[in-house]
Structure 1
């Protein structure tokens, strides 16, 4: 049964009252967004292997990097405005406009007649993806019930590999076509994910935290009930979650916290939360995955696999493997914790890079005399590397930052994390083919060396957020939770009781929660 639910925006919502049904719709929204990014990376991997694409644009190392990296120019710009747009327009509306802009970029990319048009199209595509990515992550982290947040938000990036797998299959199928549609058709198909996202938006509610911020208290309580208790507004868990939101946003207002980007720099705690949360973006970018994510062909060339059809098949297998690993990683993050999952994966990634560098050196020293064991061993470690990356960084990239950051800096802080990621990606995606061409195996060793520093930073500075609502995470940084109700999981498990009548009376006395400016 659908219930018309106020959203505080021009975009209406007819929301199913079944919590399971609604959670499934939220997950689908998460899935289709992440599939766009995964499809793009894998598609460019495939296109960079296709002669019909490289010959059409007459690409060299520099223009290959430009065509591929230009999406990050748009993402870099998009991240500057995405936080502000998410706070001002509403989470769902920002996702809508991000998806619409992405569709425009995809159409331009499909119709590209030269490098300039292709680059502009990818800039537009990156702009839209950045806006919808930030808005989607903030929206899902604020809307999902805490017990499902790791899976719900983790899937926002996990299904990167579903999109990547689809793109790998599409480029493999069109790769034999003797026309420009060998690369135009995969490009056009990319738009299906943004289109599906736009279709789903009218059937999911607005973030309850954003609604409280706008003064729509009853509407926010309805959403909390829909996402936690099948629409039962008197359920104890609903009351606890709702009161935590009310009390915490009231406290932030009384403390002078605002949703302005300037808030990030105003106090020591905000700066600390930003640096810890936003580190996920740059860390995930510099660990070494860009080599395999965008330049698999060059990667396999250095390992001795040079046939273009074999490389396209490897691209398909790689994405199946990575999807399995990121789903396993999401389970680890949910059950074991965010920090230990990141540390485990980072140690394994660093080890793999040193091994890949050593094996690539052996192959480069005598490519004609290299044994099949050396070639296959190198490819196997490359696959392990991508799997270990997927284990942690794929689910944590959008899960961890919004958990660490409180409401006043959440959207702008996540935008900063993504902005940092895309700035580094823009640089690394452009220089990686040049580096691989000029110094070969040494690029892996250099990358592995700075990965050791990342391990130390995670071990010392990251905090654990598993099992807490967004408001309860405040206790880690502020020293206390800003609400007097028991923790949600204790109420859910029967470990704490709630005086429902007293809480209702307290909520009745709260007529206005001042809006953060």
Structure 2
């Protein structure tokens, strides 16, 4: 008898649940994207720079302070996420972000503006820790790349909206030219709060808390439209039970020390941190926050033209990022990262060379070539590193260190972001195009790290990824991809019993799973 292939093409309620889960989390990246593009626009507007009497130092401080708030959140928000749950952590972070947005909109001086952006940074970093953790643990594995990839693809949705808003308010003579964009930044957090009542909690967190029936319901909803007897649902559920039980029995806790307790944990954390550093130090953040200065150096000084380029650039990057997200499950995480890095190195060197050659000239062709290199660089970055930003870290981090690991990841993201956004205005003012050459040389080292250290994770559940780091999978259930492809006979797969006790101590049995792949 042929092995059955389980058709998990989304039915209506399953698809709606998956979309709502993803939509509730991407709001934090939309807020960050809006913030980056908004600050790009504000740094170009005289109504903003004149109101605060900005010089190089205060320009950098106003822009970079959002990362300081993120660093603060990185110290402990993982503990919050483990303690109160993924959903409640998203709610708390959204509320904090809204409070910061209100304060920024009402700012009367540099100090008030800086404090407001620290609060916004704290809130968005909290969402950036809880959101990817929640998505990785809740989405079916075949949707995980899309959900986590789209998480930062929507950075450009926020950026596109902000670039349009700042373009529209640029001609206002009052402070509302920058206050209106500041106020609209809170819109995405409001959307998040409105969506949270309609989405489930992470099934892995529920199992950890002993809420097994609820966890099974969530797995069934996201994998099989609520069918709790579906063999794939039972297989994924048992993988979760077995793996969390193994971790508890082997003394793995949810504390910060667990992130560096074992060689496996240290390697996982190193890979997660590598993404934080690469995504912030590849050169893209110069463009994200100081596009106006870069265009000035390239010979394009008209404010309206710069704002128009900002809009087009965000639309271009969103398109390329979605293509990369589509391919990340086909090509694999490592190959996408390698291809993205190779091309961004080439185009960053090209941009630096063209800026050096034509930045002070009136050569129209040279200036257009410089802008083209800028677009190609951002497209190269967007293809790989935008979807990988929060896709790879929660995949390589296992449950005991996932929330705290993502908080540490966000600490490094914000710390490097703080360094870049504060230091680069000085670099652009003093050494100009040479900073792009220095950055390009650093990107070569990033490429070498990915080639040597990265582990491929495509096509595996979070529990199956453990085998890549620990050498063994902590469940005897066949791989879900093999089940879906009909390579394993699971017609007799049943969960015999589930005894709900403390912290994943469940008795679950599986009968009749036979590997027919050979």
Moved more, 491-500 or 41-50: 491-500
Is residue 332 of structure 1 aligned with residue 321 of structure 2?
Answer: no
The residue that corresponds to 1:46 in the other structure is 41
**230, 233, 237: which one pairs with 2:228?**
233
Q: Distance in 2 between matches of 1:21 and 1:293?
A: 33
Contact (CA 8 Å) 1:39, 1:190: kept in 2 or not?
yes
Please state if 1:178 is matched with 2:173: yes
Contact 2:220 2:228 in 1 (8 A): yes
- 2:355 maps to which residue? 360
2:495 to 497, 501, 504: 504
In the TM superposition, 1:39-438 aligns within 5 A as: 39-364=34-359, 367-368=360-361, 370-438=362-430
What is the distance in 2 between the residues matched to 1:171 and 1:44? 9
Asked if the contact 1:302–1:363 (Cα under 8 Å) also holds between the matched residues in 2, the reply is no
SS in 2 for 1:452: helix
Partners of 1:304 and 1:207 in 2: CA distance: 51
SS at match of 1:259: coil
1:461 is aligned to 2:463: no
1:38 offset after TM fit, Å?
Answer: 0.4
Give, in whole Å, the separation in 2 of the partners of 1:477 and 1:32: 32
Q: CA contact under 8 A between 2:332 and 2:457: conserved in structure 1?
A: yes
Inter-partner Cα distance in structure 1 for 2:60 and 2:276: 21
Q: TM-score, normalised by structure 2?
A: 0.94
1:185-236 deviation line (CA, Å, top 9, x unaligned): 0110111100000000000000000000000111100000011101000001
Work out which of the residue numbers 439, 446, 459 in structure 2 matches 1:447. 439
> Which consecutive unaligned segments of at least 5 residues does structure 1 have?
1-15
1:376 CA drift (Å): 0.4
Q: Residue 4 of structure 2 corresponds to which residue in structure 1?
A: none
Taking the aligned partners of 1:147 and 1:35, their CA distance within structure 2 comes to 24
Q: CA deviation at 1:276?
A: 1.2
Shift of 1:17: 8.2
CA distance in 1, matches of 2:322, 2:447: 22
Q: Is the 8 A contact 1:167 1:186 kept in 2?
A: yes
Q: Encode CA deviations 1:371-391: one digit per residue, 9 max, x unaligned.
A: 111100001100111111111
Residue ranges of structure 2 left out of the alignment (5+ in a row):
1-10, 506-518
Query: Does the 8 Å contact 1:111/1:184 carry over to 2?
Result: yes
Match in the other structure for 1:22: 17
Q: CA offsets, 1:41-81, max 9 Å, x none?
A: 00000000000000000001111000000000101101112
Runs of 4+ in 1 over 4 A off after TM superposition: none
TM-score, structure 1 length as denominator? 0.94
Query: How large is the RMSD of aligned CA atoms in angstroms?
Result: 1.3
CA-CA distance at 1:515 after TM superposition: 5.5
Could you tell me which residue of structure 2 aligns to residue 3 of structure 1?
Answer: none
Q: Distance in 2 between matches of 1:333 and 1:134?
A: 22
**Which residue number corresponds to residue 514 of structure 2?**
none
Selected match of 2:480 from 475, 488, 510: 488
Out of 48-57 and 480-489, give the one that drifted further.
480-489
- Whether 2:514 is the aligned partner of 1:514: answer no
| Displacement of 1:32 | 2.2
Partner Cα distance (2:146, 2:41) in 1:
29
Q: Secondary structure at the match of 1:398?
A: coil
